[in-house]
Amino acid sequence: MSKSIAVVGMQWGDEGKGKVVDLLSEEASHIARAQGGNNAGHTIVAKGQEYKFHLIPSGILYPHTKCYVGGGTVLDPPSLLSEVEQLEKRGVNWKGRLLLSFYTQIVFPYHRLLDQLSEKKRGSAAVGTTGRGIGPCYADKINRCGLRLADLLSPHFQEKLRATLELKNWELDRLYGCAPLDGKAIYDEYSVYAERLKPFAAPVEELLFQASGRNEKILFEGAQGALLDITFGTYPFVTSSCTLSGGFGAGLGFGPTRMERAIGVVKAYTTRVGNGPFPTELTADEMGRFPDHNASREKGTTTGRNRRLGWFDAFLVRHTQCLNAVDSLAIMKLDILDDLDQIKICTGYKKMKFFPADSDDLAHAIPIYESHPGWKRSTCDIRVYDDLPPQAKAYLRRIEELCDIPIGLVSVGPEREKTIWLDQYFSNE
Ligand code: GDP
Ligand code: IMO
Ligand code: MG
């Protein structure tokens, strides 16, 4: 039990982080996003209603929480403002509870355009991005020609935008033969956003430091998953930020000595959206026996694409555990396996001692499977671990054993209540 908990995805994203963060937010006072942008899509089903968040932290539904968008994120103003409008329409009071770091990088129309153009140019080697301009925005940050929220709110915004746009228009012309974007139009549009975003801007780093000094409960909400990490993911089929537990320190300006615990979120199987190697991907025959994309809720939250489906890969999670060192696993979507006769777990790849760094090697990896009998009965009404069918318990225990991480939570449906708790997580000392 502890006071600050990080929640990270241990596969290729969409593990169910949103649900876990929402659940733990009942007790937490502060919830912070550290990286990524509106490429993320976190779904919560609460009191019969479904919510999808892209940049707003998944703790916003509880009126007692404060939610932070950290300096390591990229913020698309129209997208964030539309999320805020959605909240408003649905009667969620966000006033004074949503705080944006001055350090967050702003996504501009040229980022979205460059994302889409570069994907097109890559053709069959495309990454399969969400097209939200995430990569180009992070590239500008690293190349020191990005604009932050502080710049958007500055009286010198127009000059700063002009200087950046000169570079970007040159790039658009030279690389893609595109007509230059109209600086005045972008300035006018973004000046309106600046006015609307101003009340949200706050010294997020100081506020979180103070909150942790007061020993208040803080949740760090990961986006994407370990294998989409810019450094250690299945490069180049990755996103452009650090998606690991270590990324929270850098993305929030939060000292690692004050982080106490990390929860790794995994599905009871594996999915991936976008291109890139996926060793345990189902065969066409296996797909036919798996619940379809609607039944399994495996349509991308952000882009609506069908997610690719695969068996649980324990070799992969053992590897992402090296990168994250989480204390416990939250196993999501066990219910999706309820009707299967046989369920496979990958325990390793033939002739590979370590998870390969090269995506080509991963594409050629041959999974070693063991097969487990299915339980063939619904688990969605089960709330106590011991009430699970013996085959389901054996399956979970095998995952725990192979990954060498204790299970802290099992999820058996998208709704809050469809959860089996094995750990209390937050400390009340
Ligand atoms: P995230 O990006 O990690 O927050 O995950 P997403 O929200 O993109 O995708 C997870 C999907 O599975 C969403 O539609 C959730 O509502 C749904 N979900 C989460 N946990 C469960 C579960 O235990 N069972 C079922 N059937 N659906 C779940
Ligand atoms: P959450 O937080 C799953 C994937 C994209 C693509 C790659 C690069 O909901 O788990 P990008 O637009 O980031 O440059 O795309 O990363 N991707 C995700 N996949 N879940 C996500 O977020 C993702 N965010 C990005 O599909 O393969
Ligand atoms: Mg998602």
Ligand 2 proximity of 41 Cβ (cutoff 6 Å): yes
> Is 2 inside a domain boundary?
no
**Per-residue pLDDT reduced to its tens digit, 156-199:** 999 999 999 999 999 999 999 999 999 999 999 999 999 999 99
| CA 133 to ligand 1 center in whole angstroms | 24
Give yes or no: residues 417 and 300 share one domain. yes
What residues in the chain have per-residue pLDDT under 50?
A: 1
* Structural domain boundaries enclosing 238: 29-101+212-258
Give yes or no: residues 382 and 406 share one domain. yes
Last residue of a domain, one of 197, 228, 250: 197
Pocket test for ligand 2, best of 113, 119, 228 (most atoms within 8 A of CB): 228
Minimum-distance ligand 1 atom for the alpha carbon of 413 = 24
Nearest ligand by distance to the CA of 307: 2
Which of 30, 42, 319, 372 is flagged as catalytic?
42
Pocket test for ligand 2, best of 53, 129, 299 (most atoms within 8 A of CB): 129
Q: Whose CA is nearest to atom 16 of ligand 2?
A: 239
- Strand segments, DSSP code E, in 97-222 are 98-101, 105-106, 201-202, 218-221
Give yes or no: residues 89 and 117 share one domain. no
Contact call for residues 43 and 51 (beta carbons, < 8 A): yes
Ligand 2 proximity of 52 Cβ (cutoff 6 Å): no
Contact call for residues 193 and 81 (beta carbons, < 8 A): yes
Q: pTM of whole model > 0.95?
A: yes
pLDDT score of 300: 86
Q: Report how far Cα 349 is from the mean position of its chain's Cα atoms.
A: 26
Minimum-distance ligand 1 atom for the alpha carbon of 43 = 7
| CA 156 to ligand 2 center in whole angstroms | 33
Q: Whose CA is nearest to atom 8 of ligand 1?
A: 14
| CA 298 to ligand 1 center in whole angstroms | 8
> Is 138 inside a domain boundary?
yes
Ligand 1 proximity of 217 Cβ (cutoff 6 Å): no
Q: How far are the Cα atoms of 132, 360, 394 from residue 189, in angstroms, in the given order?
A: 18, 43, 56
Catalytic annotation on 335?
Answer: no
Ligand 1 proximity of 14 Cβ (cutoff 6 Å): yes
pLDDT score of 428: 66
Nearest ligand by distance to the CA of 336: 1
Ligand 2 proximity of 14 Cβ (cutoff 6 Å): yes
Burial class (CB in 10 A: 0-12, 13-18, 19+), 47: exposed
pLDDT score of 303: 83
**Per-residue pLDDT reduced to its tens digit, 42-70:** 999 999 999 999 999 999 999 999 999 99
Ligand 2 proximity of 224 Cβ (cutoff 6 Å): yes
pLDDT score of 2: 59
Nearest ligand by distance to the CA of 267: 1
Count how many Cα atoms sit within 13 Å of the Cα of residue 259 in the half-sphere of its side chain: 25
pLDDT score of 126: 96
CATH number, domain of 377, equals: 3.90.170.10
Give yes or no: residues 33 and 174 share one domain. no
**Per-residue pLDDT reduced to its tens digit, 34-44:** 999 999 999 99
pLDDT score of 139: 98
Q: Which residues contact 428 (CB under 8 A, 6 or more apart)?
A: 1
Give yes or no: residues 356 and 417 share one domain. yes
Q: What are phi and psi of 9, to 5 degrees?
A: -85, 135
> Is 145 inside a domain boundary?
yes
Do you find a cis peptide bond into 389, omega within 30 degrees of 0? no
Q: Which residues contact 74 (CB under 8 A, 6 or more apart)?
A: 36, 37, 104, 105, 106, 107, 133, 134, 137, 138, 141, 241
> Is 23 inside a domain boundary?
no
> Is 19 inside a domain boundary?
no
pLDDT score of 1: 42
Minimum-distance ligand 1 atom for the alpha carbon of 58 = 4
Q: Which two tokens stand for residue 273?
A: 């959206």
Domain count, the chain: 3
Ligand 2 proximity of 130 Cβ (cutoff 6 Å): yes
Ligand 1 proximity of 15 Cβ (cutoff 6 Å): yes
Q: Which two tokens stand for residue 409?
A: 């939570």
Burial class (CB in 10 A: 0-12, 13-18, 19+), 118: middle
Give yes or no: residues 275 and 368 share one domain. yes
Catalytic annotation on 327?
Answer: no
Give yes or no: residues 174 and 70 share one domain. no
